[in-house]
Amino acid sequence: MKIDIAQIKDGEESVTVRYISRTPVINSIIRILEDENGKIWGRTDERSVCVNINDILYLESVDDKVFAYTGEHVLRIEGSLYSFINSVNDDVFFRCSKSMIINVNRVVSLKSLSSNRIDATMEGGEHIVISRRYASEFRKFLKGDR
């Protein structure tokens, strides 16, 4: 990838992104430029907490409530898994089962399981099973074929 960087004396600053196909790398660059990676508010037992979206390891839906897990907090957040995945960068978050979304950047290791499932070990040691229904899409996701 060729990168042109130039300082200007006056006028409006601008950035142009030219690509042949929109790869995960290109999407990450665009996301950084658009500042889509923000913060999200959630509630712990004691208080409201604001966390960076990138700090989320995974999200889980339990009894129509959505919980976001970070290394430090378990937050109850508003909305649904569907609304979350549609509002954030889908090159980082992956729907791995009907009730879970994982942050792929926070996966430490993967292990194939029987019945075409995948065990994803997250930072902090949690094991998330990527269901058979989502496993082939996850493999494509990792290859950048999504």
* pLDDT tens column, 30-89: 766 766 457 888 999 888 988 888 899 999 999 989 999 998 889 999 989 988 888 786
Buried-state track 71-86, b at ≥16 Cβ within 10 A, e below 16? eeeebebeeebeebee
* Segment among 8-12, 30-34, 102-106 with least mean pLDDT: 30-34
Half-sphere exposure of 50 (CA within 13 A, CB side): 2
pLDDT at 89: 62
**pLDDT interval class at 90 (50, 70, 90):** low
> Alpha-carbon distance 124 to 3, whole Å?
36
Give all domains of the chain, ordered by start, each with its CATH number: 24-143 (2.40.50.1020)
In the chain, % of residues over pLDDT 70: 94
Q: Would you say 81 and 114 are in contact if contact means Cβ atoms under 8 Å apart? A: no
